[in-house]
A = this chain, B = another copy of it.
Amino acid sequence: MAGIKDVAKRAGVSVSTVSNVINGRHAKMGARTLRRVQEAIDDLSYTPNAVARQLKSGQIKTLGLVVPSVANPFWGNASQLIEKAALKRGYQVLICNAEREPELEATYFSSLYASSIRGTILGSSPVSFDHLREHARNGMHIGAFDRTTQGAEGVVTCSVSVDQSLGARLATRHLIGLGHRRIGFISGPIGTSSRTARLEGMRQELEKAGLTPDPDLVWLATNATGFGDSQAAELGRTGIRELLTLDDPPTAVFTVNDMYAIGACSGARELGFRVPEDLSVVGFDDIIMAKVMEPPLTTIRQPVEQMAELIVKKLIATLEGTETTDDAHVVLRPELIVRSSTAAPPAPNAQEKD
Binding site for B on A (CB under 8 A): 1, 45, 47-52, 54-55, 60, 69-73, 75-77, 79-80, 83-84, 92, 94-95, 97, 110-111, 113-116, 134, 138-139, 230, 233-234, 237, 262-263, 265-266, 269, 288-289, 291-296
| Central interface residue in A75, A80, A111, A134, by most chain B CB within 10 Å | A80
- Does the CB pair B83–A97 fall under 8 Å? yes
When C-beta atoms are compared, the residue in chain B nearest to A108 turns out to be B92
Q: Say what secondary structure dominates the interface of chain A.
A: helix
Given A265-B294, A266-B296, 11 additional A-B pairs, CB 8 A: A45-B134, A47-B114, A50-B114, A51-B60, A70-B79, A70-B95, A79-B95, A230-B288, A237-B292, A266-B294, A289-B289
Residue from A55, A76, A114 having most chain B Cβ neighbours under 10 A: A76
Task: Return chain B residues, CB-CB under 8 Å to A60.
Answer: 51
Hey, which chain B residues are within 8 Å of A269, CB to CB? Answer: 294
Tell me, rounded to whole Å, the shortest Cβ–Cβ distance linking A329 to chain B.
26
A45, A52, A292, A296 — which one has the most chain B CB atoms within 10 A of its CB? Answer: A292
- B72, B76, B113, B293: the one contacting A47 at CB < 8 Å is B113
Closest to A104 in B: B87
13 interchain pairs (CB within 8 A)?
A45-B134, A47-B110, A49-B116, A51-B60, A70-B76, A71-B76, A79-B95, A92-B111, A233-B288, A233-B291, A265-B294, A266-B291, A266-B294
The 6 closest A-B pairs by CB, nearest first: A76-B76, A50-B114, A294-B294, A266-B292, A70-B76, A71-B77
Name the residue on B nearest A266 (C-beta): B292
Residue of B nearest to A73 (CB): B73
Taken together as a complex, chains A and B put the C-alpha atoms of A94 and B92 apart, in Å, by 10
A266 to chain B, nearest CB (A): 4
Interface contact A76-B83, CB-CB below 8 Å: no
B294 touches A138 (CB 8 A): no
CA A138 – CA B60 in complex, angstroms?
A: 24
| A230-B288, A265-B294, A292-B262 as given contacts; A50 in contact with B115, CB under 8 Å | yes
Residues of B within 8 A of A138 (CB): 1, 45, 47
- CB-defined contacts of A94 to chain B, threshold 8 Å: 94
Most chain B CB atoms below 10 A, which of A75, A84, A230: A230
**A269 vs B139: C-alpha distance when bound (angstroms):** 54
A79 to B67, alpha carbons, bound, how many Å?
13
Interface pair B262/A293, CB less than 8 Å apart:
yes
Measured between beta carbons, the chain B residues less than 8 angstroms from A76 are 69-73, 75-76
> Nearest residue in B to A78 (C-beta to C-beta)?
B71
Contact A263 B292 (CB under 8 A): yes
CB distance from A187 to the nearest CB of B (A): 17
Closest to A232 in B: B288
Name the CB-closest residue of B to A296: B266
- With beta carbons under 8 angstroms apart, the residue of B48, B75, B116 that contacts A51 is B116
| Distance of A145 from chain B, by nearest CB (Å) | 15
Question: Which residues on B sit within 8 Å (CB–CB) of A266?
Answer: 291-294, 296
Instruction: Tell me whether A289 and B71 are in contact (CB under 8 A).
Output: no
A309 and B289 CA atoms in complex are apart in Å by 28
Contacts of A51 in B (CB 8 A): 51, 54-55, 60, 115-116
